[in-house]
Copies of this chain bind each other. A is one copy, B any other.
Amino acid sequence: MTSFDLTPQGVRGMMRAGEWQKPTSGVSSSYVQANLVVLPKSMAYDFLLFCQRNPKPCPVLDVTEMGSAIPSIVAPEADLRTDLPKYRVYREGKLEKECTDITELWTEEMVGFLLGCSFTFEQALIENGIQMRHNEEEKNVPMYKTNIQCHPAGSFEGPMVVSMRPIKQEDVVRAVQVTSRFPSVHGAPVHIGNPESIGINDINNPDFGDEVTIKEGEVPVFWACGVTPQAVAMHMKPELMITHAPGHMFITDKKNEAYGIL
């Protein structure tokens, strides 16, 4: 059995026992993985509203009841305090530490948000014969701040962050079709082609992640990115904010295909 075939329950059990602290790319590959954002309940309404107003960068998959660490819709037997491989803890907007268990930090004041992640639509693209350059080059996907402003909500505001994948010209239409099926995990691209039209002046110098090669005959295609809500929340310098560590996602019980709307 490879890590592709592990069940979400099995992998989360290993994480809970401290036996799995690695990234989750490709693990339980037919299941939806999610970004985690934990915030104090005083910020929960504005954050939820921000996500509702900006569904492409912030597709909400589940929100815990206040104080609860149980994502009752996507994985009712899981515990967000222990069932991710690695967390990041931010205080007043500054990274304090990484850790593998946040039980001691979770109080009645906390609310957990799980947001869709690009692994789901990448899996769909790969199944359609469209390879991911960052996988081939063993890098992180390149991400960029854009001049596309999110709809603000309360004091949450900021630019949309996008990820970029070079796609062969002849595959661009198919890439739009395939990802349009998955609005819960960023959905269709937000932009195709010229990076400068969305405020990206140097495609070889991403704001997050790594540069990847764009070959002759390929077009840069941009999708809204789950880094957006983290960046926006961070900007507010919350007293305490906890996220997954990059690439160390929460694995839900839901199949990728369950989020295909057609």
Task: List the interface of chain A (C-beta within 8 A of B).
Answer: 44-45, 48-49, 52-53, 60, 63, 65, 72-73, 151, 153-154, 177, 180-181, 183, 187-188, 261-262
What residues of B have a CB within 8 angstroms of the CB of A53 in the complex?
63, 73
The reply to whether B65 and A154 form a contact with Cβ atoms under 8 Å apart is yes
Q: Choose among B49, B73, B154, B188 the residue that contacts A48 (Cβ–Cβ < 8 A).
A: B49
Distance, CA A44 to CA B46, complexed state (A): 10
Q: Choose among B65, B151, B154, B188 the residue that contacts A73 (Cβ–Cβ < 8 A).
A: B151
From DSSP, what is the main secondary structure of chain A's interface residues? mixed
Oligomer copy total: 2
Distance, CA A60 to CA B188, complexed state (A): 20
The reply to whether B183 and A261 form a contact with Cβ atoms under 8 Å apart is yes
Distance, CA A80 to CA B153, complexed state (A): 18
Distance, CA A15 to CA B49, complexed state (A): 28
The reply to whether A180 and B52 form a contact with Cβ atoms under 8 Å apart is no
Distance, CA A14 to CA B65, complexed state (A): 43
The smallest beta-carbon distance between A189 and chain B, in angstroms, is 13
Q: Choose among B48, B60, B261 the residue that contacts A45 (Cβ–Cβ < 8 A).
A: B48
Residue of B nearest to A182 (CB): B261
Q: Choose among B48, B60, B177, B261 the residue that contacts A180 (Cβ–Cβ < 8 A).
A: B261
Distance, CA A262 to CA B183, complexed state (A): 10
Distance, CA A53 to CA B51, complexed state (A): 13
